[in-house]
Chains A and B, each alone.
Chain A
Amino acid sequence: MWYYEKKLQYPVKVSRCNPTLAKYLIEQYGGADGELSAALRYLNQRYTIPDKVVGLLNDIGTEEFAHLEMIATMIYKLTKDATTEQLVAAGLGEHFVNHDHALYYQNAAGSPWTATYIQAKGDPIVFKDTKSTYLFGRCFFIFH
């Protein structure tokens, strides 16, 4: 059972409109190694993983939704005041036609999220989890 707490895990401060940044950041939202993939992957793995690791997967998966929310907040704040012209200039014209200012689970290239992102890719704990965490760290390194 899940409960929601009405706060971000860490504060998100965005000082100016920047749709170009949002366009790349969306990879972390709906991309193959982004937060949605991480959350759904770990939570789905819980059912058939050894008992001693279930708690860890449960708790990490839950935390990934908190990360997802922070990414979404960044994207929302970076684009909420963008004019149509600014969105088109940032390469988000097509996105605007489909979704207006709404977020959508897609990667930076515009491909929608798919459950194929959470197919088995080798050892479920060692390979996939470290790869996603690496992407998370890399994105923050770039955008800080």
Chain B
Amino acid sequence: MTKEKSLPESYYQLMEQIQAVDFVLVELTLYLDTHPQDLDAIKQFNQAAYESKQLKNQFEERFGPLMQYGHSYSSYPWNWKEAPWPWQV
């Protein structure tokens, strides 16, 4: 009944790095929503956003698109729909 395919260690490591930096981005977003004048926080946010994009480029090169509707590129054949989906990891 399990449909999980086995993934390389690098998948989990890279994914965890992305999740860590994206957590910073979520927290800073919520903070900045009510503290728009905090320049240091904005600098930290943009730095983390850059880092997130770098990590995700690496991830997507190996494991396929993370975002839909054109926020990630596709390879051939179309691989957006491929497993694993997050609840299968």
Contact = CB atoms under 8 A, between A and B. Distances in A.
A69 B89 CA distance: 13
A8 B19 CA distance: 8
A130 B68 CA distance: 33
A140 to B, nearest CB: 15
Given A6-B85, A60-B30, A81-B2, A11 B67 contact: no
Given A59-B30, A80-B1, A81-B2, A11 B89 contact: yes
B66 A6 contact: yes
Interface in B54-80: 65-69, 71, 80
A12 B16 CA distance: 11
A56 B19 contact: no
B15 A11 contact: yes
B19 A11 contact: yes
Interface centre among B1, B26, B87, B89 (most CB of A within 10 A): B87
Given A3-B67, A56-B34, A60-B30, A8 B1 contact: no
Contact-residue bracket for chain B: 20 to 34
B41 interface: no
Interface stretch (A33-41, A71-79, A113-121): A71-79
A81 B86 CA distance: 17
Given A11-B19, A81-B1, A81-B2, A59 B29 contact: yes
Interface of A: 3-12, 52-53, 55-56, 59-60, 63, 69, 72-73, 76-77, 80-81, 101
Given A56-B34, A63-B30, 9 more contacts: A4-B68, A6-B85, A7-B66, A9-B19, A11-B89, A56-B33, A59-B29, A59-B30, A76-B87
Interface of B: 1-2, 12, 15-16, 18-19, 22-23, 26, 29-30, 33-34, 65-69, 71, 80, 85-87, 89
Q: Which are the 10 A-B pairs with shortest beta-carbon distances?
A: A73-B87, A56-B33, A55-B33, A8-B86, A76-B87, A6-B66, A59-B29, A4-B68, A5-B66, A81-B1
8 contacts: A3-B71, A4-B67, A6-B80, A7-B18, A7-B86, A8-B89, A59-B30, A63-B30
